[in-house]
Structure 1
Amino acid sequence: MIVTKNLKWKHVLFYTWKSLLYFLCLSICVYILHVEFGYEFLSIPFNAVATLSTALAIYLGFKNNSAYDRWWEARKIWGLLVNYSRAWGREVLNFAITTNKEEEPELKAWKKKVIYRHIAFVHALRVFLRIRHAYNKISSEIIEDSNRYEDIDDFVSKEEYLDFIKKENPPNYLLLLQTEDLKYAYKRGWLSDYRFVKLDETLTQFNNHQGMSERIKNTPLPRPYSFFSRVFVYLHGTLVPFAFIEELGWLNIPLSLIINFIFLALDQIGERTEDPFENRMDDTPLTAISITIEGNLKEMMGDPNMPKKAKQIEGVVL
């Protein structure tokens, strides 16, 4: 996610330079053919392009609103995951109790296991949503991000990890293990009926968060929106130089480039935000949120080995 107010132009040009180069070459060619060679027929009425510009602006505005809704929903889902993760830590620490002092070491170990397994679930869900995008290009550099299932190795047992990596849906497997441990605590008498149900309800919320994230991940914005917006932007951009050449002459070149850049930027805004789990610079910062959850739960456990906060790299937090 971009967190700085001012975008770096090298980031902007990284995604638009090829299109801008096409429009620049086209404008220059139109100018040379019309002015230098006298091809006066290379001109179209300004009103025709103005009408197309209005229609395209409305279309791109609708697409960008839809894309932003998807991005904001993803952020709300992971915001709720933060809240329920803190609730999970609080409930495990305070709901599971025993009056037998001999059981206290075992109960303490159980609490640590289920809380740390939840940290593993959060990191696993992040990787599960990003697994096909292990790196992110920004300008000419590659920003590496830790999107590997090995990240959870410190939070589960070796046996659980070996079973975990074989599953088609690893995060869901961890939730299943959590349920089994709740059942074990209930049988040992560490959880009453009510407290067992409350903890299970919190686990169900984690299922909901995963399911909602998978829905966004697996159901892209209808592809005709993306396809035709790109077609319309290029069609409009191709016609713009022909609309101004008669009146502006060489000034048609920079003016056409500016107009086309505006519509390219509008198209790219929607294109970059419609899929919020692709590990790109505009996406929901899953790594930073996962580290926040890990730090909060470790603090609850009194663990001094706090994770390093996610760093800003050129104004971007992943």
Structure 2
Amino acid sequence: MISYNTKDWFTFIFRFHKADTFRTLFPVMIAIGIYSGFIGYLEVEYFKLSDNSYVKNITIMHGMLGFVISLLLVFRTNTAYDRWWEGRKLWGSLVNNSRNFAIKLSVMLNDKEDLEYFKKWIPMYATVLDEHLKDIETSKELFDDAIFEIDHEKHKPNQVAKLLFQKINELYKRNVISGDQLIVLNEEVKSFTEICGACERIKNTPIPYSYSAFLKKFIFFYVMTLPFGYSFSLGYYVVPVVIFIFYVLASLELIAEEIEDPFGTDENDLPTPKIAANIKKHIEELI
């Protein structure tokens, strides 16, 4: 995740980071500029359409659809950010639950070997969960064309949670912890699995295809029709105007695509490896 100063305006305006959408859209923007200039040339220079031409009235359509496309983009970006923020809250819960788990064990247990076991495996859950969520196969588990062999060893977070509970159950059988303490510790391990399931829900359930495809088509055809109406009033200045409009609309869609999966490797995704490292540091301090 990119670290920045929210109050530094000039850095935002004049610096192009590698995560900036301008780099991604630049080739398409050049093509749209050439297309807009060609349409402007045909209407103004070649066909020499008059101001009374019905083609000029196509701007009425753009005015009507501009409100619609703005609503769609607002919904798109808000939905994507909700997924990003929910992912951050889930990993925040994982941090807190790991700390609480370690605090309780450090008080309940006296044997150094038992404490070393949990000192290793509690932070291991966060590390394994991070790798699990970055696995491309995890994002395809609910797809209709996905075919998987039944192999429970592939789900590493479940294996770590199982080892933690096995150790707790062993401590109970050895009378190291009481039944009430077993129930308390079981809830901590249970919370790990619930967080994993919630993260998987975000990972393998993308925005519905129909909605995403419709929005991309809407933006494309909206921008492609802009030069037809505005060439009359702007002339060749329609080129930078159409490029800028496309940059704004397409950038919002690209940003939404990037943050709707907060567990990837993009610049604006959650710093889950850093969070996992912090969990390891805190557990080592507590146990």
Which residue of the partner structure matches residue 28 of structure 1?
37
Picking from 79, 85, 89, the partner of 1:72 is 85
Match of 1:167, SS state, is: helix
Q: Judge conservation of contact 1:95–1:191 (CA < 8 Å) in 2.
A: yes
Picking from 19, 27, 34, the partner of 1:11 is 19
What amino acid is aligned across from residue 176 of structure 2 in structure 1?
W
How big is the shift at 1:178? 0.8
- Post-superposition CA distance 1:5-56 (Å, at most 9, x none): 4555243223222331232121111122223323537655211111111111
Question: Partners in 2 of 1:166 and 1:196 — Cα distance?
Answer: 26
Picking from 289, 292, 296, the partner of 2:278 is 292
Percent identity (aligned)? 27
How big is the shift at 1:79? 0.5
Which residue of the partner structure matches residue 122 of structure 1?
126
Report which stretch shifted further, 212-221 or 17-26.
17-26
TM-score by length of 1: 0.77
Q: Judge conservation of contact 1:77–1:209 (CA < 8 Å) in 2.
A: yes
Which residue of the partner structure matches residue 188 of structure 2?
202
The structure, 1 or 2, with the larger RCO (C-alpha pairs under 8 Å, 6+ apart) is 2
Question: Partners in 2 of 1:181 and 1:225 — Cα distance?
Answer: 47
Gaps of 5+ in 2: 138-150
What amino acid is aligned across from residue 2 of structure 1 in structure 2?
I
Question: Partners in 1 of 2:275 and 2:224 — Cα distance?
Answer: 43
Match of 1:276, SS state, is: coil
Structure 1 stretches (4+) deviating beyond 4 angstroms?
A: 41-44
Q: Judge conservation of contact 1:92–1:115 (CA < 8 Å) in 2.
A: no
Equivalences for residues 134-145 of structure 1 within 5 A: none
Equivalences for residues 81-96 of structure 1 within 5 A: 81-96=94-109
What amino acid is aligned across from residue 250 of structure 1 in structure 2?
Y
Structure with a larger share of its residues in helix: 2
How big is the shift at 1:300? 2.0
CA 1:257–1:68: 2 relative to 1, 3 Å = same
How big is the shift at 1:131? 2.0
Match of 1:132, SS state, is: coil
How big is the shift at 1:189? 2.0
TM-score by length of 2: 0.85
Q: Judge conservation of contact 2:33–2:239 (CA < 8 Å) in 1.
A: yes
Q: Judge conservation of contact 1:63–1:225 (CA < 8 Å) in 2.
A: no
Which residue of the partner structure matches residue 281 of structure 1?
267
How big is the shift at 1:182? 0.5
Question: Partners in 2 of 1:200 and 1:96 — Cα distance?
Answer: 15
Question: Partners in 1 of 2:152 and 2:77 — Cα distance?
Answer: 39
- Post-superposition CA distance 1:152-193 (Å, at most 9, x none): xxxxxxxxxxxxx98121110111111111011112222111
1:228 aligns with 2:232: no
